[in-house]
Chain A
């Protein structure tokens, strides 16, 4: 772990007063920045909080929302709750997976751009079938709209990359 990252972690730990019982909140803060929980960071907070590494690992694996695997820049969550499911969310999921070449076992693209996950309910059943990209909600989806959405995300990336190249 580099000094820069250690500084980030120290700040997070500091903001929680190095309180053992805040370990979940601390992990949430870490995941917000790095999109996942890197092993060496968990070991670092375990040491600082005087918890065993096994305990911290236990907490991190208990919650579905924590990821120990790196995630892509865009995390696409396809709702597979009852309402979305009966309105054909499976077809959307399959379409998106096919376009990006990912599976349930390997949810992230090799270029670390996209991660595709399902969630049990986003609590937006009136908008079914629904999916989110990072924290933006996309209502009333279908496979066609999903194709367009992915293309838009890829295009905006390409534009951003060109702009960066010109600089």
Chain B
């Protein structure tokens, strides 16, 4: 028999909803929440989602499972009073400098205060003003704006298995803290930014570097060169009403020109170089006998940091190939060297990324040559949206434009780097001998695609079968590593992306739930399909680069030794 609930007098059927909040949403009522995310464990802290049962009892709908015949009301005088009071108290303990807050316009507390028409706050903020932690290259922590919903704590420990922050102290003194109140940069934080992505307020925000980039743009002595990561093109349009997954790269290029950028390129070119190098490493590693660990990918800087802090002994098994951003950064700086000297200008290399950890990566000592970083600034998709809005560009009305020469050609393999499994698929396209369209199509179906957090597949290379693991989300990576350590599983190649779903779901992208993330990944595969060149080695630009700019410098420009510093 069909199970049902009575919500505000209406009969609402339910099946396997884990809480009555889900059933209420199904009934078309959006209850306010701060601390509820379906991907995380249920915490029940904010009490905004409270409902009244038929005896007048008040329960949090997120932490109450539905029962057959249950009667609840979502709109009663009691609930009206409670919700308003909770909001007023949250606002009372909050630093309310909304107009200059990084989260202005995107803040859940602001949104709900507006939705509930809070007329004023009668209570004084008695909290002491706590210092803002700006130690990280990726995120800024402002404890004065924290509402203690715990979303950041749960995403950090449950999804990412990092646990850089947790609740500390008790009662009115409770706060989100790093271990021993250290600066976040001095912890095991991997800079993935997922905490900032789920933070409903401005308590954790992504470090904003747009001011420095504006200064570079305004300085005629500086040549501002931009590279755009694959995942950005399928998400940035969302800010202008485009569907997730719709490729708006042409409009982005056009608007960056209007912004005053001197040259605009695609990080996919860097991805093609990464595949050339990484595939070679893979072929070499397959010849090694009795190798306990697979070759791990190296594109994701949060993953690199995770290994450095939690599994330092597997660092030697990570590919030494730089990430596409760093490879392309090195190429750009090298390419403009002579021209800079002649013209008396300085090239400023900017990368537009879906990612917060890339900000950290760009600042690493390993990626500085003679003290100068190969990538000077990393901007997230969100930061670029902010810059475009600042000068009032009508993104939707622009005619698409093409990239600048000479780095305007890239392969589909490079583009799909932005989705989980994409790096693997690109590498497989490179290593298989048979380059026919039929095999290309077959690769698609060996199990590399899809948004699942853990994928395993096998590739038949004739002389041997290659076992491949693909994980996204560091918690999944942790579980896979434990299986490898225990000998339960053996892989030859493992791709890791720190954000669940891959770079398309990076913390620097507009906020997205699983449906939108999947649509973005599909957008990348669609882009790949439309491109003439499918494989990295078929990109003529790659060939030119190896023969000219990279000649005898492959090691310096394309590889990195992370263990040198330690």
CB–CB B179/A61 < 8 A: no
| CB-contacts of A44-64 with B (<8 A) | 46, 51-58, 61-63
Assuming the A-B contacts A39-B180, A43-B179, are A54 and B164 also in contact, with contact meaning beta carbons closer than 8 angstroms in the complex? yes
Instruction: List chain A residues, Cβ under 8 A from B166.
Output: 52, 54-55, 57-58
The interface bits of chain B over 157-190 (1 if a CB of A lies within 8 angstroms of the residue's CB, else 0) are: 1000011111111100000011110000001100
Instruction: List chain B residues, Cβ under 8 A from A51.
Output: 163
Assuming the A-B contacts A62-B169, A62-B170, are A57 and B163 also in contact, with contact meaning beta carbons closer than 8 angstroms in the complex? no
CB–CB A52/B170 < 8 A: no
CB–CB B168/A57 < 8 A: yes
The one of A42, A46, A57, A63 in contact with B177, judged by C-beta atoms closer than 8 angstroms, is A57
The one of A55, A63, A68 in contact with B163, judged by C-beta atoms closer than 8 angstroms, is A55
Instruction: List chain B residues, Cβ under 8 A from A55.
Output: 157, 163, 166
Instruction: List chain B residues, Cβ under 8 A from A57.
Output: 166, 168, 177-180
Q: What is the interface size of chain B, counting residues whose CB is below 8 A from a CB of the partner?
A: 16
- Chain A CB within 10 Å — which of B164, B166, B169, B170 has the most? B166
Q: Which residue of A lies closest to B174 (CB)?
A: A62
CB–CB B187/A54 < 8 A: yes
Q: Considering the chains assembled together, what is the distance between the CA atoms of A106 and B178 in angstroms?
A: 24
Instruction: List chain A residues, Cβ under 8 A from B169.
Output: 61-62
Instruction: List chain A residues, Cβ under 8 A from B177.
Output: 54, 57-58, 61
CB–CB B165/A54 < 8 A: yes
Q: Considering the chains assembled together, what is the distance between the CA atoms of A68 and B157 in angstroms?
A: 24
CB–CB A56/B179 < 8 A: yes
CB–CB B179/A53 < 8 A: yes
Q: Considering the chains assembled together, what is the distance between the CA atoms of A68 and B168 in angstroms?
A: 13
Q: Considering the chains assembled together, what is the distance between the CA atoms of A41 and B180 in angstroms?
A: 12
Instruction: List chain B residues, Cβ under 8 A from A61.
Output: 168-170, 177
Instruction: List chain A residues, Cβ under 8 A from B179.
Output: 42-43, 46, 52-54, 56-57
The interface bits of chain A over 154-165 (1 if a CB of B lies within 8 angstroms of the residue's CB, else 0) are: 000000000000
CB–CB B170/A54 < 8 A: no
Point out residues on A near B: beta carbons under 8 Å: 39, 42-43, 46, 51-58, 61-63, 68
Listed A/B pairs (26) with beta-carbon separation below 8 Å: A39-B180, A42-B180, A43-B179, A52-B157, A52-B162, A52-B164, A52-B166, A53-B179, A53-B180, A54-B164, A54-B166, A54-B168, A54-B179, A55-B157, A55-B163, A56-B179, A57-B166, A57-B177, A57-B180, A58-B166, A58-B177, A61-B177, A62-B168, A62-B169, A62-B170, A68-B180
